[in-house]
Copies of this chain bind each other. A is one copy, B any other.
Amino acid sequence: MAVQLTDTTQPDQVLGLRERKKRRTRDALVEAAHQLFLEQGYARTTVDEIAAAVDVSQRTFFRYFANKDEVALAILADAEDHFVANLRERPADENPLRALRRAIVLTWRELGTARHDRPSSITAALELIQLIESTPTLLAAHLRRITEQEQIVAGILAEREGLDPATDLRPRVMAAVFGGVLRSAHLSWSAENESTETENSGSEAMINLIERHFDQLGPALAGDWHGR
């Protein structure tokens, strides 16, 4: 697969020592930060502590992450990329809403089964969502990232359907609605799992919640709520 050219193209797997080292410290920072945030809370953890835990200088920390938010949210970035990839791979004959729904469920399922690279990427992701929901600063940063993702999603939808994203509002509206439903599901999840430790755990609980929220989309928009 990885074709070896002169030296412009970097092989996927065979990274130099330098790159490997960088990746290692980056991973270490993410993990150390995550641990510390869970133990003592986001606000009460200083960047210096995180850096010290990995034995690098504070300056180096800020070369890896633009700010404190970024280390915390790094764990979800992985999942987000997977989601985008999954959405792109959805068959063209699926309607947009279904494609989105399938893609997100599939992403959580993957995260649950596949032993990604880190042992428990789901556990970490779920812990993080809880942390986010209980940390105003983090929530703000997370919401901003989410909306950026929505732009990307809107672009993918427009492309899928062969629409002009500048003219047609549907992709953007759909992406925004999707984002809203997801956030709502996350909120419900973190409300249910408020009690300290991850008990209900498992990606299944989250998937279930997401499905239920999607199911309410039609009924919610229907004129009369008393109908049911």
Q: Taking beta carbons and an 8 Å cutoff, which residues of A are in contact with B? A: 95-97, 136, 139-141, 143-144, 147, 161, 163, 169-181, 183-184, 187-188, 212-213, 216-221, 223-226
Contacts of A223 in B (CB 8 A): 95, 97
Q: Enumerate 12 A-B pairs (CB-CB under 8 Å) in ascending A order.
A: A96-B220, A97-B223, A140-B140, A140-B144, A169-B188, A173-B181, A173-B213, A174-B220, A176-B183, A177-B180, A177-B220, A217-B221
Find out whether the CB atom of B170 lies under 8 angstroms from the CB atom of A219: yes
Contacts of A144 in B (CB 8 A): 136, 139-140, 143
Find out whether the CB atom of A221 lies under 8 angstroms from the CB atom of B140: no
What number of copies of this chain does the assembly contain?
2
Contacts of A221 in B (CB 8 A): 97, 174, 177, 217-218, 221
Find out whether the CB atom of A177 lies under 8 angstroms from the CB atom of B225: no
CB distance from A147 to the nearest CB of B (A): 7
CB distance from A48 to the nearest CB of B (A): 22
Cα distance A170–B225 in the bound complex, in angstroms: 8
Contacts of A141 in B (CB 8 A): 140
Cα distance A176–B144 in the bound complex, in angstroms: 15
Find out whether the CB atom of B220 lies under 8 angstroms from the CB atom of A170: yes
Cα distance A144–B134 in the bound complex, in angstroms: 12
Contacts of A170 in B (CB 8 A): 216, 219-220, 225
Other A-B contacts than A177-B217, A177-B220, 15 sampled, CB-CB below 8 A, are: A97-B221, A136-B144, A140-B141, A143-B144, A143-B147, A161-B225, A169-B184, A169-B216, A169-B220, A170-B216, A173-B181, A173-B220, A174-B220, A176-B180, A217-B221
Choose from B169, B171, B177, B218 the contact partner of A212 (Cβ within 8 Å): B169
Find out whether the CB atom of A184 lies under 8 angstroms from the CB atom of B173: yes
Residue of B with least CB distance to A93: B224
CB distance from A72 to the nearest CB of B (A): 13
